Amino acid sequence: MTIEAVVFDFDGLILDTEGPVFTAWQEEFAAHGCPPLTIEEWAAEIGTTGGLDLVELIRTRATRPFDEAAMHARRRVRRDELLTRETARPGVREWLDDADALGLALAIASSSTVEWVEPHLERLRLRHRFATLACYADGIEGKPAPDTYLAACAALGVAPGAALAIEDSPHGVAAAKAAGLMCIAVPHQITEGLDLSRADLRLSSLAETTLREVLDRFN
């Protein structure tokens, strides 16, 4: 089937939010005298919602006094400080340009809320590039459930089999495949060691090739 739409994950794919969020949590684990939070543990949280109870992990492992409200306030300030340094990941703008030139519809499918995704897209001046944001909400489960991808395709008026998903995590790849989309995995530093074998193609970066070349390869 001819590809009619490209559906992008957001966190870690469009913008590296994963690194700042992970770093801020790691610093809180250290501040409370906990053993380091590992990538293997963090993998349960990547690309999904509520995969890991991080507060409970700190609470049970802390060797220093734990004030949850103060911890969250400090962590969010640190996270946001790190996020301001991030720009769109390599190749993202070029792939969006390719999609526009090819007449392909564009959407976001994210396990984050629209209240998280949209302001970041606005800051990057990319919000207008996407016809719809299919995000975690009431009635739309986070990945690995297929809900966000099915919602994105429905909003675009495109059959899932005619859409291409771009993902960075095992949960995201599982969601895309469960929804019936072709899927390209583009891991970042945190997810590059995780199992992305269910994807139809793996790239080291979107800057590695062009959307046109990928579509030619699939065809």
Tokens of 210: 């062009």
Distance separating the N- and C-terminal Cα atoms of the chain: 9
Catalytic residues: 9, 11
Please choose, from the candidates 110, 106, 32, the residue with its C-alpha nearest in 3D space to the C-alpha of residue 74. 32
Name residue 137's beta-bridge partners: 140
Q: What angle do CA 10, 214, 46 make, to 5 degrees?
A: 25
Detail the DSSP E strand segments found in 65-174: 105-110, 132-135, 163-167
CB of 90 closer than 8 Å to CB of 210: no
Cα–Cα distance, 193 to 148 (Å, whole number): 25
Sign of the CA dihedral with 97 first, then 163, 112, and 204 last: negative
Tokens of 209: 């090739």
Kindly tell me the burial class for residue 157, based on how many C-beta atoms sit within 10 Å of its own C-beta (0-12, 13-18, 19 or more): exposed
Q: Name the CA radius of gyration of the chain, rounded.
A: 18
